[in-house]
């Protein structure tokens, strides 16, 4: 007999509420650029078959104020995974993937938020591998973000 179990793991805390309130309020004033990615996968076998859907929503906005450019981005990653052999198990997860606010000048960038720290183009052996885990076979190169303050300045020669 096929039984079904569905579990939902959505964490709502104060930071999430403030982020959503800020997005809703600012959407009345500003126009956003929106990108969506939807991917399906399945691994069908005699036992322990697996199928799922990944959806990533990305909202971004950039505004040039003359003396400084302000930009921000918010990405949400939602997953539905189902596995079955004798019974069906399904999990729905939703998590912040990236969010940041950035102030840019011609040679300087200040960025605060959950972001990807990238230290070069290496894929397998990288000097700072403890910040993220990159799967070389993953075409989307999804990594966990790091809550950080980034200050980058490019010096003139």
Write the pLDDT tens digit of every residue in 67-84. Answer: 999 898 989 888 888 887
Question: What's the confidence (pLDDT) of residue 33?
Answer: 83
**pLDDT above 50 (res 18):** yes
Q: List the structure tokens of 46.
A: 């005699």
Binning pLDDT at 50, 70 and 90, where does residue 9 land? Answer: very low
| pLDDT of 128 | 61
Write b or e for each residue in 44-68: b if 16 or more Cβ atoms lie within 10 A of its Cβ, otherwise e.
Answer: eeeeeeeebebebebbebeeeeeee
pTM of the shown model: 0.67
DSSP secondary structure letter of residue 97: E
């Amino acid at each position: 007999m096929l039984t079904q179990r569905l579990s939902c793991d959505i964490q709502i805390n104060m930071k999430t509420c403030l982020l959503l309130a800020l997005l809703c309020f600012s959407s009345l004033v500003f126009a956003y650029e929106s990108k969506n990615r939807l991917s399906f996968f399945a691994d069908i076998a005699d036992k322990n078959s697996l199928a799922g859907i990944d959806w990533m929503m990305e909202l971004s906005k950039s505004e040039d104020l003359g003396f400084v450019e302000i930009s921000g981005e918010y990405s949400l990653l939602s997953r539905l995974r189902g596995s079955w052999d004798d019974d069906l198990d399904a999990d729905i997860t939703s998590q912040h993937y990236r969010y940041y606010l950035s102030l840019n000048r011609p040679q300087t960038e200040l960025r605060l938020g959950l972001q990807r720290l990238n230290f070069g183009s290496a894929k397998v052996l990288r000097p700072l591998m403890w910040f993220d885990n990159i799967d070389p076979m993953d075409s989307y190169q999804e990594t966990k973000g790091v809550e950080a303050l980034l200050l980058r300045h490019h010096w003139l020669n």
